[in-house]
Structure 1
Amino acid sequence: MAVKVFAPWDNPDEKPLIRFENVTKKFGDFVAIDNLTLDIFEREFFALLGPSGCGKTTMMRLLAGFEAPTSGKIELGGQNIVPVPPNKRAVNMMFQSYALFPHLTVWENIAFGLKREGMEKDKLNARVEQMLKLTRLERFAKRKPHQISGGQRQRVALARSLAKAPKLLLLDEPLGALDKKLREATQFELMDIQEKTGTTFVIVTHDQEEAMTVASRVAVMDEGQIIQVATPDRIYETPNSVYVADFIGDVNIVEGKAAPLEENQVRIDWAEGQPPLVCTATQPFDPGQTCYLAIRPEKVMITAERPEGADNAVQGKIHDIAYLGNISTYHVQLSNGTIIKAQSANTRRIARRSFTWEDPVWLSWTATAGVLLAR
């Protein structure tokens, strides 16, 4: 049986749920969002990722209706929502602080919005029970927020946000207050709930691991612009710029001058006294053009002897070792001072390291292991 792949963005006939069209948002002279165009599809779990001040929260506030764009339009389900006030939009927002009512029980917190809308009692009770079940909070229905844990409060806020069945749920750094283990568990819960409800989620985060875990697609932002939008694996394996390569995960960036060879191969002259590197390029480079080779540490092999027939091999000394339990990262200093990181999996218990500080080693990788970027 063929597995149906969820990729509405690859289907030209698919209409987006949310469309940003040439949206600019200025605060005085400061441009927070710079002529941004973006489509987000129904049932997506979409992540806006970037450093503080890149414009991701402003985008979310524009969707919620707390800010209006300076120019451009925002559509939800084909309707321009810019003139629609926040409480009339089929959009709900879950805040980082959860914003629960301390004097109300979990049950009452979830029911609050539905009561305000005047939902009839039987329907309201059924809806709240459904939300408690979805977020596995049935046992805590009668407790107040201060009587439950941070992770449970987070789920109450989620249940309350989903109770009104919004078309779109906005999550602003929703897991920021949780510790690492709980955060990881909650990420999978969020994905599970999103799938069960079919609601479109847009999450704002500066945590790249979180974005890579939960999202169907990630938009990497910088200074009010979207630098790349793609699935997590494409963002990681084929970044479109040094900025994206550097922002997501660990990477070595080697700057050099390109010398095109045949069959998409490019020679990179990069440091005096170092052998040129070879890379398979997906885009054309001119002779002498500045280029950047981005290569992930896990794709660099570390050996004591020079490897036979390697496309790229450089020699250096181990300068630093980071032991992370499942992997070790070796920082290797070459004769010209460049540091290149290599990673290897610790499949056996480390009683005696194969390599230690100051050891001379060879680093090698294939021509297809890295990505050659123009900027």
Structure 2
Amino acid sequence: MSSQTVFAPWTDPTQKPLIRFQGVTKRFGDFTAVDNIDLDIYTREFFALLGPSGCGKTTLMRMLAGFETPTEGTILLDGQDMAPVPPNKRSTNMMFQSYALFPHLSVRDNIAFGLKREGKPKDEIHARVEEMLRLVQLQKFAARKPHQISGGQRQRVALARSLAKAPKLLLLDEPLGALDKKLREETQFELMDIQEKTGTTFVIVTHDQEEAMTVASRVAVMDAGQLKQVATPPQIYENPNSVYVADFIGEVTIIEGTVRKDGEVYAMDWAEGQPPIRIRSALDLTDGSRGYVAVRPEKVEIHMQKPEDDNVLRGKIIDIGYLGNLSTYHVELANGQIIRAQNFNTERSTRQTFTWEDEVWVNFTTACGVLLES
């Protein structure tokens, strides 16, 4: 068993955050883009700001970079108020989705550009550029121009250039958006590796939940300028704090009903003539209040015969998504509610156990769903 300590400075009250947002609001005229946000980000974190377009994540990042000024509140970097510090004097660097490489300069000169502007000695620049080329594994391509290398390699040049000045903080604005799916997945792991090697704090803005969940130590889910939940990827996936977060992250079925305490669990009446759904929860809900059960498809089992188990529901398969390693079944319940169930395709066979229009049973245990208030 590994003796490595788990990286979680946010759980240690003695740790001081590198970045601190205190009551930060940003308004553009009548529109509030960021609404009274308090947030701490720690040194060496790979932190993701995640949310749909227009949720305020890019505005939050632009304020951190110094391209926008908060309407209200304070942003501290390493204990220093950033308000009077212009963007070029901050120990931050920003990598844009477009990469913004100079087409007439070689890979080496693109990486060296910021260092030359700072007037660093030539031998120091050369040593740093070589170090960056090794870090992003582009030594062989150092003399090429940006149009002579692939999209993924251009992305690495932009990353090397951003890291060359050894910023305390690197801001990444949708950095993988221009890459195809396979290359994007490969690059996510490269980014994580580079972040770990350099020890630089990374803050990434993305609308891609899979990307945020893969790379980040913690994720802030945003909506309408507010933080909905800030937690580690497993916490956000397994213990969302609201219907919005549960619905935004991954595939999920959300069933609405009326709850009542029933011994050690809550029972939720959700459809006439149907057995109640029983869920374990630490929430303190009053009998008769509205509740929502969120359940992930991999937690739902599907059967041809009725099982002896908790939360057994009858339905009909109306859709099947075959994804190679697994199949997702959309099962319509008696009241028209669709519940998703997943089966791993462990055997190499083209014959499917379940097919369209099959009458089936689905079930999930009392610990597999999450009870939410709203």
| Coarse TM-score class (shorter-chain normalised) | over 0.9
Which residue does the alignment assign to 2:156?
Answer: 155
C-alpha deviation, 1:350, in angstroms: 2.9
C-alpha deviation, 1:349, in angstroms: 1.9
What is the letter of the counterpart of residue 344 of structure 2? A
- 1:1-375 mapped onto 2 (5 Å cutoff): 2-263=3-264, 265-308=265-308, 310-375=309-374
SS at match of 2:103: coil
Any idea what the Cα deviations from partners look like across 1:174-216, whole Å, max 9, x if unmatched? 0000001100000000000000000000000000000000000
SS at match of 1:165: coil
Structure 2 distance, partners of 1:52, 1:335, is 36
Structure 2 distance, partners of 1:169, 1:351, is 47
C-alpha deviation, 1:270, in angstroms: 0.6
Any idea what the Cα deviations from partners look like across 1:247-268, whole Å, max 9, x if unmatched? 00000000000111222x1000
Structure 2 distance, partners of 1:359, 1:295, is 22
Any idea what the Cα deviations from partners look like across 1:72-106, whole Å, max 9, x if unmatched? 00000000011100000000000000000000000
Structure 2 distance, partners of 1:122, 1:185, is 33
SS at match of 1:191: helix
Gaps of 5+ in 2: none
SS at match of 1:48: strand
SS at match of 1:356: coil
SS at match of 2:306: coil
C-alpha deviation, 1:352, in angstroms: 1.5
Structure 2 distance, partners of 1:2, 1:151, is 35
What is the letter of the counterpart of residue 286 of structure 2? D
What is the letter of the counterpart of residue 342 of structure 1? A
Structure 2 distance, partners of 1:334, 1:269, is 14
Structure 2 distance, partners of 1:225, 1:259, is 31
Gaps of 5+ in 1: none
Of 332-341 and 70-79, the range deviating more from structure 2: 332-341
What is the letter of the counterpart of residue 329 of structure 1? T
Structure 1 distance, partners of 2:311, 2:61, is 45
What is the letter of the counterpart of residue 287 of structure 1? D
SS at match of 2:189: helix
Structure 1 distance, partners of 2:373, 2:260, is 13
Any idea what the Cα deviations from partners look like across 1:110-137, whole Å, max 9, x if unmatched? 0000000000011110000000000001
SS at match of 1:336: coil
SS at match of 1:157: helix
C-alpha deviation, 1:31, in angstroms: 0.1
Structure 2 distance, partners of 1:373, 1:336, is 21
Q: Indicate the RMSD between aligned Cα atoms, in angstroms.
A: 0.7
Structure 2 distance, partners of 1:51, 1:125, is 41
Structure 2 distance, partners of 1:365, 1:97, is 45
Structure 1 distance, partners of 2:274, 2:4, is 48
C-alpha deviation, 1:353, in angstroms: 1.1
Structure 1 distance, partners of 2:47, 2:154, is 23
Structure 2 distance, partners of 1:242, 1:350, is 37
Structure 2 distance, partners of 1:221, 1:351, is 42
C-alpha deviation, 1:2, in angstroms: 2.2
Structure 2 distance, partners of 1:335, 1:35, is 44
Structure 2 distance, partners of 1:100, 1:3, is 38
SS at match of 2:133: helix
Structure 2 distance, partners of 1:246, 1:102, is 42
Any idea what the Cα deviations from partners look like across 1:243-292, whole Å, max 9, x if unmatched? 000000000000000111222x1000011121111000121110001000
What is the letter of the counterpart of residue 350 of structure 1? S
Structure 1 distance, partners of 2:335, 2:115, is 66
Structure 1 distance, partners of 2:262, 2:307, is 23
C-alpha deviation, 1:226, in angstroms: 0.4
Structure 1 distance, partners of 2:208, 2:83, is 29
C-alpha deviation, 1:28, in angstroms: 0.2
Structure 2 distance, partners of 1:285, 1:357, is 39
